[in-house]
Amino acid sequence: MELREKLTAGLKSAMRDKDTGRLGTLRLINAAIKDQDIALRAEGRSVGDAEILAILAKMVKQRQESARAYEEAGRLELAEQEQGEIKVIEDFLPRKLSDDEVEAAVVQAIAETEAGSLRDMGKVMGVLKGKYAGQMDFGAVGPMVKARLA
């Protein structure tokens, strides 16, 4: 099942179950996807699964930062709300790779791109982002790739 179809099915399910928290988050996801659809309409294409995964990953990161800010400000109820939204969004993301799987993916991407120096880091990261969007933290993977190419 395509990711967009899963989101629509989840939205319908949340409406049937009258789950307002989940419904609100799914509506936010759909709005973000529609915004991206409108932006890409000029190019004559629509949002694909890889782009939806990138949107979802961005939304998770935004909510993690918000939750952290709310906790520091002592607004625990708002932090809990953000954590709840994160859980809903993560339901649609693929499972995170383990450290060993990330290491293996980095080695494979370096071999695949025949990268030999730091100049090739962009190629390696491009391959990883294309194959593993939403499955790994690219902020942590960047230094790993850099260390292997140095």
pTM of the model as a whole: 0.73
Four-point Cα dihedral 59, 61, 62, 66, nearest 10: 130
> Do 149 and 121 form a contact (C-beta atoms < 8 A)?
yes
Domains, the chain: 3-90 (1.10.1510.10), 99-149 (1.10.10.410)
pLDDT in tens, 87-144: 999 888 888 888 888 888 888 888 888 888 888 888 888 888 888 877 887 888 888 8
Average pLDDT, the chain: 88
Q: Angle CA(137)–CA(27)–CA(97) in degrees, nearest 5?
A: 20
